Structures are given as structure tokens and as C-alpha cells.
Amino acid sequence: MKFIITFFTVLLLTASALYAENYPSGKAILDAIDRNMTSENRIIVSKMVIHGRRGTRTIRSKTWSEGETEAFTEYLSPAREKGIKMLKSGDMLWTYSPNTDRTIRISGHMLRQSVMGSDLSYEDMMEDPELSRHYKAAVTGKETIDGRPCWIVELTATTPAIAYQSRKLWTDRERNVPLKQELFAKSGKLLKRLELKDVAQIEGRWFPKRMIFKDMLKKGKGTEFIIENIRFDQEIPRHIFSKAALRK
């Protein structure tokens, strides 16, 4: 009897060792994602394709961002949205409309409102967190997404100010890009689903050129965010991240 117990104990220990060997730590995966996808700053020209119940609209914009705390977006087209600007500085967010010549601070529950009828909120537009700074992670399995082997990683927030208290990632095991994300409220309710497509090597890193956001609380086919041009680690004049830039 003692031999049987010892035999099964060895089997369990061996299985545990194999599991630990085959599954990297959640922290290692988050660190790899951050090294691949974050940068000191970036400049992006993109278009947002909103698939609404009444049809499809396309809005082009240019965004300058630095770290997690500063970002400036100017809408380029169509004519109705041209000249609208958004500024994030620290935990403050302002929008400027040339039609009314007014600057409005967005705060509190307003941050969760839709941007121009899209599936993205103001929080989504302005938040680009370094995952390893705000979440702890556990690897829970493997799956294939779009033909790519992925780790399934479950994230739990360690900082209260983050927009989503938990996330589930399907991360490309070779390219360190999350190909799919599910974003949850503190209650555990699924709020958003995000698919990352057309991953390409840009300036020595793997990066998605098309992202599909779906607000799970509203109807519609979602919103596509398509990157037309992106440049990393550029020299950005400091005046861009100022309220004065909103009116220029």
C-alpha cells in the first residue's frame, strides 16, 4: 500500500513539474508584451470605422502619445468631425470642438461614454496601460487563434484606477501580441471584446494594424480601428501636450 501511495505521489509531482515547465509565468508574459508593444512615445495616423445600426462611418485622426499619461488626438476627417481635439494629461481629459469653440473637461462617469457613437469609450481611447504595472497574471491554458498558438492569460488589477478590473488575453506565444482580449468589470461582467488583426513587424516589433472593438452591452457589429501609419520613439514637442494646443 505504501508503494502505491509513493508511486502516485511521484506521478503527481512529475505532472506538476511538467506543467510548470510548459507554462511560463504570467509575469514573464506580461513583461514580454510590454517590451514588444510599449514605447516611450508614438505617433499614429488611423481611421475608426464605426459599424452602427444606421450604417457605417469612417473617421480619420492623428494621435501623439507619450507613456501612459499624455496623449493628444486631432480628428482629420470627415468635415463634420474635422478639428475636434482631445488631450489627456495625467488623469485629466479635455475635448475641444471648433464648432462651439469650447473646451470641455471629461471626468467621472463621462469617461465611460461612447466616442462619436463607436464601441470605444473615452477611457478606451486615452488608456494604453503597461500591463505589468497594473495587473498580476496567471497562465490558464493554451489555444489557437487565427492559426497562431497562444497562451491564455487571466489578469487581475493591482491598481484601483485602471478602467478594467480584470482581463483575459489570448497571447501569441512567439510574437508577444495579444490576439484577443476580453475586458471585465469588477463584478465579473464582460464589457468589451477586442480582436487584434493584421500583425506586422514594424520598427523591430510585432504590432497589430487592425483592431476590432465590440461593446458587449450594445448592439451592432463593432468598431474597427485601423492604423495607417505608426512611428515609435519620435521627438514630440512638449507644447503638443498642453491645453493651448487644443485651440491651435
- Per-residue pLDDT tens digits of the chain, which is 248 residues long: 444 445 555 445 444 444 445 889 999 999 999 999 999 999 999 999 999 878 899 999 999 999 888 999 999 999 999 999 999 998 889 999 999 999 999 988 888 889 988 999 988 877 778 899 999 999 999 999 999 999 999 999 998 878 899 999 999 999 999 999 999 998 999 999 999 999 999 999 999 999 999 999 988 889 999 999 999 999 999 999 999 999 98
| Residue among 166, 164, 163, 197 at smallest CA distance from 26 | 166
Q: What is the pLDDT of residue 17?
A: 44
Residue-wise pLDDT tens digits, 216-247: 998 888 999 999 999 999 999 999 999 999 99
Per-residue pLDDT at 169: 98
Cα 234 from Cα 246, distance rounded (Å): 21
Q: What pLDDT does 6 receive?
A: 56
- Domain at 25-66+107-236, CATH from 3.30.565.10, 2.50.20.10, 3.40.50.300, 3.40.50.1970: 2.50.20.10
| d(C-alpha 30, C-alpha 48), whole Å | 27
CA-to-CA separations, 163 to 85, 108, 114, 178, in angstroms, rounded = 22, 12, 14, 18
Cell 488631450, located at residue: 87
Q: Where are the domains of the chain?
A: 25-66+107-236
Q: What is the pTM of this model?
A: 0.86
Q: Give CA torsion, residues 102, 105, 109, 115, to 10 deg.
A: 60
Whether the Cβ atoms of residue 106 and residue 95 lie closer than 8 Å to each other: yes
Residue 69 · residue 76 · CB < 8 Å: no
Close Cβ partners of 56 (under 8 Å, ≥ 6 residues apart): 49, 50
| Mean pLDDT of the residues in the chain | 89
Per-residue pLDDT at 10: 45
CA distance 121 to 236: 25
> 143 to each of 29, 30, 175, how far by Cα in Å?
15, 17, 15
3-state SS record for the chain: CHHHHHHHHHHHHHHHHHHHHHCCCHHHHHHHHHHHHCCCEEEEEEEEEEEECCEEEEEEEEEEEECCCEEEEEEEECCCCCCCEEEEECCEEEEEECCCCEEEEECHHHHHCECCCCCCEHHHHHCCCCHHHHEEEEEEEEEEECCEEEEEEEEEECCCCCCCCEEEEEEECCCCCEEEEEEECCCCCEEEEEEEEEEEEECCEEEEEEEEEEECCCCCCEEEEEEEEEEECCCCCHHHHCHHHHHC
